Amino acid sequence: MSDHTLNRATRLSTAAAAGMLLWISRTLLALLVSYPVLLAIRGSGMTNGPDGDAVLFQPGSLLLLELLRVDAVGLTAAAQISLLLLGLSAIFELIPLALALDLLWLPKHPLRERLTRALGLFPRFLLLGAIALLVQAALMLAASLLGAAFKPVLSSADERLRSIAPLALLGLGLFACGWFGGVLDIARATLVRRDAPELGVRAAFAHALLCLRERPFRVLVGLYPSVAGSALGLLSAAWLLTRFVPVSASSVAIALSFGVHQLAMLFAIGWRVRWLGAALELSAESD
């Protein structure tokens, strides 16, 4: 077997391992986030019948609406707890992300060393995420302010143009947010590659912005196919559920829905892993 074949097999195996790591962590965290809502539904007593919670998924959703009416207070409290758990899960997910990047960059390191590195990178990953969240919020605010500023200018324009302009500005803001998310991933890849405690968040961001300035098209080409692939997987899952999964409230239908959803998540994570590998390569090329 040639070295090229071995390298390709190694890359595929490490990418599969990184994808499974992200999938397992996200699935477990998603189950944790949904658990308070599940307890609130069971506490309402509406799923104590022989059909269990399958009655809530019957056509028309009448019992589901009745559940929302009867136990609105309990469901609201459970939803608040779930939102808190969702925020904590998003923070905790940075550790599997660091492990996945480390696995893609250094395939043969022992697990204990990887975990130590991931825990050491966690504070800087968290700070990078906070900065990126603030920048993306500022970009969306700027898009909203531009939309408001253009309203008087377009007051005499065609009605279709007045309707499309705010949506176009919103899309431009989302586009810029996605591009900055790519810069964030390259900064994280830089921290994983160099693995130096003295390398701070500012230096990692500067390196990522240098990569964006030198190779803007490659950052764009590397990031947005992954976003499009993830969207394709979720939309395909929704189409399959509406076309081929029976609408009856049965355990088989619920199991099929769960399986299709998990396949879509695996497909989206596969594209995510592909982009993480590209971010590592882009970071290395900008040294």
pLDDT in tens, 110-128: 888 888 888 888 999 999 9
Task: Please determine, for residue 256, whether its predicted confidence score (pLDDT) is greater than 90.
Answer: no
Q: State which of 92, 112, 145 marks the end of a domain.
A: 92
* Concatenated DSSP letters of 201-241: HHHHHHHHHHHHHH-HHHHHHHHHHHHHHHHHHHHHHHHHH
Q: Give the containing element (helix H, strand E) for 70.
A: helix 62-70
Beta-strand ranges (E) seen in the chain are none
| Full domain range(s) for residue 57 | 1-92
Q: State which of 50, 75, 92 marks the end of a domain.
A: 92
Instruction: Clarify whether residues 184 and 73 are in a common domain.
Output: no
Instruction: Clarify whether residues 129 and 188 are in a common domain.
Output: yes
Instruction: Clarify whether residues 275 and 137 are in a common domain.
Output: yes
pLDDT for 34-47, tens place per residue? 888 888 877 777 66
Instruction: Clarify whether residues 216 and 162 are in a common domain.
Output: yes
Residue 108 lies in a domain: no
Of residues 200, 161, 205, 160, the one with CA closest to residue 186: 205
Residue 98 lies in a domain: no
What token pair was written down for 194?
Answer: 């160099």
Instruction: Clarify whether residues 197 and 144 are in a common domain.
Output: yes
Instruction: Clarify whether residues 134 and 85 are in a common domain.
Output: no
What token pair was written down for 284?
Answer: 């290395």
Residue 116 lies in a domain: no
**pLDDT of 95:** 92
Residue 110 lies in a domain: no
- Whole-prediction pTM: 0.81
How confident is residue 198, by pLDDT bands cut at 50, 70 and 90?
Answer: low
**Tally of domains in the chain:** 2
| Angstrom distance (rounded) from CA 121 to CA 148 | 41
Cβ–Cβ contacts within 10 Å for residue 147, how many? 18
Contact 153, 165 (CB under 8 A): no
Of residues 282, 115, 285, the one with CA closest to residue 188: 282
